[in-house]
Each structure stands twice: as C-alpha cells, then as structure tokens.
Amino acid sequence: MNHSRVVQIWVGLFVAIGLASLFMLAMKVSNISALTEQDGYVIKANFENIGGLKIRSPVTMAGVVIGRVSAIGFDRNTYEAVVSMTIDPNYDNIPEDTSASIFTSGLLGEQYIGLEAGGSPDYMKEGDSFQLTQSAVVLEKLIGQFLVSKADE
C-alpha cells in the first residue's frame, strides 16, 4: 500500500465518521421520527384557555400518543382558542362523544391534550370537532381559588 492510498482511506473514514455523526444527530437526537408521521386526519376542538399548549404538542389517549397538535387559532366570534390536531390514521375509531382536556405532564412539564373515549357508536371524521372540552389548568387561578376558599373558612 502506497502512501497516497493510506491517506485516501483515512480521508474516506473521516468523511464517513462526519456524515455518520450528522446522521446520528438527525435520527437519534432530533425529532425527525415525529416529523415523518405527518399524515392523518384533522380534528378540531375549542378551548376557553389552552395555557402553554404549543404546535406539535402530543395528543394522547389512555396515555398513548396518537397524534399531534398541528395548528392553534383564535375564534373571533366566541373568543375561544381553536386547536387542530392531526390524528394517526391507524386510530380512526374515536367515538364522536369523546372529550378532550388539556393536561400537564408532571408539575412543570409540557402540556398535552388527553382524549377520553365516549360510548357513541359513530366515529370522528376529518374536520369534526370535539363537543366536550376542558381547558388547561392555570396555576395562578388555582392558587387564587385556594386563597379565596381559605379566607372563607
């Protein structure tokens, strides 16, 4: 093996390691796996207050992530937040009277939408809205209520 061949092998190895690092950053560290599952059907829900909910927050049912929040808008007429969520097409049997609530994971964690299945035989379709929703719990409100109830005692 002559010298220039050794150099070329080393450079090949170097470039391969560099590209492998980039690949690892993309696949293992970043959210590329979440980005690929974009397809699905969209359901909307109106909330009085969404707290810290963000686009791409998870939508869960029984604790399992079945979709993600795809858009957050504001309704001019009802002064409510309109949250669109994209649900994985595998879960196309969500009953029509399912309720959606905004929960917080842990004390200071991220906020997510939790769905609780109803008993209706009809299933949700693309563009449907949840009838039963529960807003995010705002910590300051809770503390305020607690103080008021303490003062009453």
Partner 1 sequence: MLDALQRLGLASLNTLERLGRGHLFLLNVLRGIPSLFLRFGLVVHQIYSVGVLSLLIVGVAGLFVGMVLALQGYNTLVDFGAEESLGVVVALTLVRELGPVVASLLFAGRAGSALTAEIGLMKATEQLSAMEMMAVDPLHRVIAPRFLAGFIALPLLAALFSAVGVLGGYFVGVGLLGVDEGAFWSQMQDSVDLYDDVLNGVIKSIVFGFVVTWIAVFEGYDATPTSEGVGRATTRTVVHSSLAVLGLDFVLTALMFGD
**Contact residues: partner 1, CB under 8 A:** 4, 7-8, 10-11, 13-15, 17-22, 24-26, 28-35, 107-108, 110
- Residue 38 · residue 56 · CB < 8 Å: no
Work out how close the CB of 39 gets to partner 1 at its nearest, in angstroms, rounded to a whole number.
18
- The Cα–Cα gap between 14 and 87 comes to 42
Q: Least Å distance between CB 109 and partner 1?
A: 8
Question: What 3-state DSSP class applies to 36?
Answer: helix
Q: Which is nearer to partner 1, 33 or 90 (CB)?
A: 33
CB of 32 to partner 1, least distance (A): 5
In the complex, what is the shortest distance from the CB of residue 95 to partner 1, in angstroms, rounded to a whole number? Answer: 28
Instruction: Give Cβ neighbours of residue 81 (< 8 Å, ≥ 6 apart).
Output: 46, 47, 48, 49, 50, 72, 73, 74, 75
Report the residue number, 13 or 138, with the smaller CB distance to partner 1. Answer: 13
41 or 112: CB nearest partner 1: 112
- Residue nearer to partner 1 on the CB measure, 21 or 120: 21
Distance CA 146, CA 140 (A): 10
Kindly give, in sequence order, each residue whose CB lies less than 8 Å from that of residue 135, ignoring residues fewer than 6 positions away: 47, 48, 49, 50, 51, 102
44: tokens are 């909307």
Judged by beta carbon, residue 62 or residue 148, the one nearer partner 1 is 62
Query: From the CB of 3, what's the least distance to partner 1, in Å?
Result: 10
Helix (H) or strand (E) holding 99: strand 99-104
